[in-house]
Structure 1
Amino acid sequence: MKILKYIFFFIVLSVIALTVFIATQNSNYTISKEKEINLPKYTVFNYLNNLKNYEQWQVFNEETTPFTLDSISKGKDAEIHWKNSSIKITDVFPSDSLILNLNQDDIESTLKWKLKSTKKGTLVTLEVEGKMDFITKFKAFFQGGIENINGPIFEKTLNSINHHLIEEYTKFTVKNEGIILINETYFIKKMISCTAENLSEQIFETMKSMKLFCTENDLKVNGNPFTIFENINFSSGVVNYAVCLPITTEIFTNEDSDITGGKTESFHAYKTTLTGDYSHSDKAWGENKKGINENKLTVKSSIKPISIYKKSILDSNKPSEWITEILTPVNESVIYIPEVSNDSIPAVQ
């Protein structure tokens, strides 16, 4: 009986000693994981900076509880919520790094995204800093450390991001569709200059201010947004263009306003449709030019080329779903198909 009592006391003392030992261990931890993604740094940054994309790759919400976005969905102070949890972007260093606060069941940790350009694309580093409660310390003690618990989760996060980025940004199609008629259109516009890769972000930000302008001035939107290209420098990647929003009536604005009114006369244009991210615009413009040359059409230089955004970042956060119509004005209204003489058709023997 005494032996059993001694064994019991020994077990109790061991448990107490182990509990004290675990409780006094350092609560702070830092885990860092990295992965190379074969896409440019600006593409990866823009993807991570937009919390609308979070549902595509997140691994923290295992119950697939619905997400709720705040009014700000990207950039500093953007925040997304789900059951007893949230993520908020606290600091943004454009095309370089992001700092976020993760709160899960009142346990907070800091996530840091760091991006570095490589020959193949971008090295993405996910660094997580947090503090363990006693239960987490207990689990970590018996599983060989906190990295053995959370490390695989962060590796899964990076792999999931890589999968969705490659799938969304590399998938595209380009199709020449012939000559179409563009009717007379009234519109409001705002001049922009940026690189092709930042086109989606610029359009998104510009369209928000233009839609607010329409609301404040009782203007009715009459179709999809479009851009009028003043100049495209494919070597530098810089595009000078006007972001336009069609409206039902012609308007005139103050000289100091950055938003002005305009009107396009009706014209015929050679149409090419790009389905996918705007980074493939150069290929679409190349096909458009090729189609014009192959069909022996002549460009109407008095009217600037335009792009109509049938489905854009305003409608979907998936670039693979974006539909852009590229239109180059031409003098012809139809494509001429030469008649084939009967004399040129070989007789059937």
Structure 2
Amino acid sequence: MRWFKYGTFLLILLLAVYAVSMYFVPEKKSYTFEKEVNYPVEKVFPQFNNLKNYTRWHSYFSENNNFSIDYFTPYEGQGSSLSYRDKKDEDNFGDLFIRYENPLKTLRYQLFEGENSTPYLIDLKFKNLQGKTHITWYIHTPKQPLLKRSLNLISEEDLAAQIDKSMKNLAGVLANKVDREKQRESLKFDSLIIEQQSGQLLLGINVSTKNEKNSLFKNIVMNHNKVFNYVKMDLGKKDDEYGEPLLITNADNFKDKEVSYYYGIPLSKRISVSDNNFSFRTVNPAKSYVIYYRGTYTGRIKAIQQLLSKAKEDGLRTGDLQQTFLEEPSDENSTVMKLSLPVF
């Protein structure tokens, strides 16, 4: 009984010391960080107001491969949101919202952690500086009652380190994106050229579907999302760890009532894959006749016929046609792709 009294007294004493120490901790805190990115604001802002883009480079999300993330429409701008949950830590979950947007100038996020009903407020201000973007982060922690103020002891150094790491990731993403855009601008569309193509290792799925104007492209979009989500979400691959999606099919099956194709995404190496719907496929290096095409998806047929005609004229055997989507397939009336026909 005496030990119980001593234990109770000690517990009360510790609570009292804790309460007194928390009295000196602010009920909420604010931090300001200023960063600069070497890209114009029109390139930088979409990486913040599109939450799918945001989670690819922000270190809080990109470094945790156990996060399961659900995105909700609209996927960008004011009103967009996401929910995240750690598959290995049931106490680590939350919701992120974009509450306000002034395009190319300001954004306001609200971040709810766990069951906390009071959010973090994150305000961002963007300023264009001669081709560079100056970003000011204003982070406000939730107001906490006396006994929970220890949650506001988050270190400014830790926050600064997280933002620094995120900014480096963002710079890498933008570098890849801008480089691709510059390469795209230099392409000559609708001209037949010869390229020596390197080999690739693809991870994807085999598909058979009807060759009808609307249903074929819808089927491609559906399978693109399926493969992309598996590589990105389930396998946790970052932007610089995979290449542009590739559809492989028989070159002249556009005349058939049913089309069989393989849709895959290039990876740097083989990894363990638990889902039997997905398989690896190797594309060997080859000399190829190539046409860069931009237009409706059905309009590609004329370019394919041009490739086949050239190979026949030169007396060469042909391999499977490769359709590399240079822009994500989403609109049947506006596609950008590289059509490659290996020749022997």
TM range (shorter): 0.3 to 0.5
TM-score, normalisation: structure 1: 0.46
Larger radius of gyration: 1
- TM-score when scaled to structure 2? 0.47
